[in-house]
Amino acid sequence: MALAAGTRLGHYEIISRLGAGGMGEVYRARDARLGRDVALKILPAEVAGDASRQRLFEKEARALAALSHPNIVAVFDVGTDGGFSYIVSELVDGKPLRGSGFGLRETVDIAVQIASGLAAAHSAGIIHRDLKPDNILLTRDGRVKILDFGLAKVSVGQVDAAASTETLAVESAPGVVVGTVGYMSPEQVRGLPVTNQTDLFSFGVVLYELVMGERPFPGNSVMAVCDAILHDPPHGFGDRPIPGKLKAIIRKLLEKGPANRYDSAEVHLELKALDSSLALAGPARLSRTAWIAVGAGAVLACIMTGWFWHRSSRERWARETATTEVTRLVDAADYVKAAALAREARSVLPEDPTLEKLWMRATGEVSVSSVPAGAEVSIRLYSGGSECLGISREDASPQDSRTSRRLRLAGGQARIRNR
């Protein structure tokens, strides 16, 4: 039932209905406290009536409210009133990203902005889960705004067997995964847990549709589309004059296996490099000197892209692979290996709270004193191996005959010797 103009929810007064979708009805509302117009989304009744999903909704909304990015619709507030659960966000003067009537430069610019928003959200631990053109707004001045981050996690839609763009609910181990069939990743179709790469597959579908005017996995029913997503390669590009680099980016985004897709930071850098190369290769004729500069710039862009790719790969290794392995080693009481691996991972992500906790679990603090000062102290684990602690004559103070240092060592038993 649509809310009438003048209805109040909290300190928000409904002005008019803007639209509706699988995630609820959207209204233009007036914030009586701050005197500004906002977008107010009423979530489906099943969310308000389910305490666990209500808590999940509020958790997702708080995480998103803490995120400030020019390509993500800002969340201002969340509340419940009169049996309605709602989320309040900025009111964007824009239209959903539909169709393929964009030039190459404009398409790549839009893609860069989408990738930037996804990278920011993913770095904050937020996954969209239902990225599609209807959830991407384009303002009059060309600014991309992504909306409805995380809401698919707490909402359930209905499936129309004759349509390939309806919202599909799939029960999975972590909870309920919802996506729009034509834009779902293979893991979503299978009901598997989602990751950042899930959003990137959907991004690949959106980008393909921008370029080609159709989705890469068409079908005349939900089952046909799901089967194509799982088993078929994406449709090709025909004879369209599309840069080879853009084709390669789209193909990698649409890889079946999540591990074979880009990291969100990687694809953002790749698209920025492509955008820069298109700008350099503009329609104007360039002098020989200018072309040399273009070539040098392209080489530099490739070098920087490679560096950032390597860095992001190392960060992903530290955050995902190393963290899991250190946890296993600590649980198995293999503290020496755990500490060594944690030390390497912390050099990549020095301020990561998870790695810091694992480092504290894998190591213990030892206080070593040398009397008289200047002794070299080493340890040897019962299992073998030796590590010099580094207390040397330079550590001694002229006023003190004792050298003391507090150190963190791998847990377990060790012999300590000084000389």
- Residue 68 confidence (pLDDT): 86
CA 109 – CA 144 distance, rounded (Å)? 9
Residue type, 274: L
**Residue from 39, 202, 199, 205 nearest 120 by CA:** 199
Beta strands in 22-103, from DSSP E residues, in sequence order:
24-31, 36-42, 75-81, 84-90, 94-96
- Residue 415 confidence (pLDDT): 53
- Residue 131 confidence (pLDDT): 94
Report the CATH architecture of 94-156+176-282: Orthogonal Bundle (1.10)
**Do 1-91 and 94-156+176-282 fold alike per CATH?**
no
Per-domain boundaries in the chain: 1-91, 94-156+176-282, 289-410
Q: Could you say which DSSP state residue 417 is in?
A: E
Taking the domain 1-91, which CATH number applies? 3.30.200.20
Positions in the chain whose pLDDT score sits under 50: 154-165, 167-177, 284-291, 294, 382-401, 413
- Residue 317 confidence (pLDDT): 77
- Residue 288 confidence (pLDDT): 43
Annotation marks residue 130 as catalytic: yes
Q: End-to-end CA distance of the chain, in Å?
A: 83
CA 63 – CA 172 distance, rounded (Å)? 23
Query: Could you tell me the pTM of the whole model?
Result: 0.63
List 109, 130, 148, 334, catalytic entry? 130
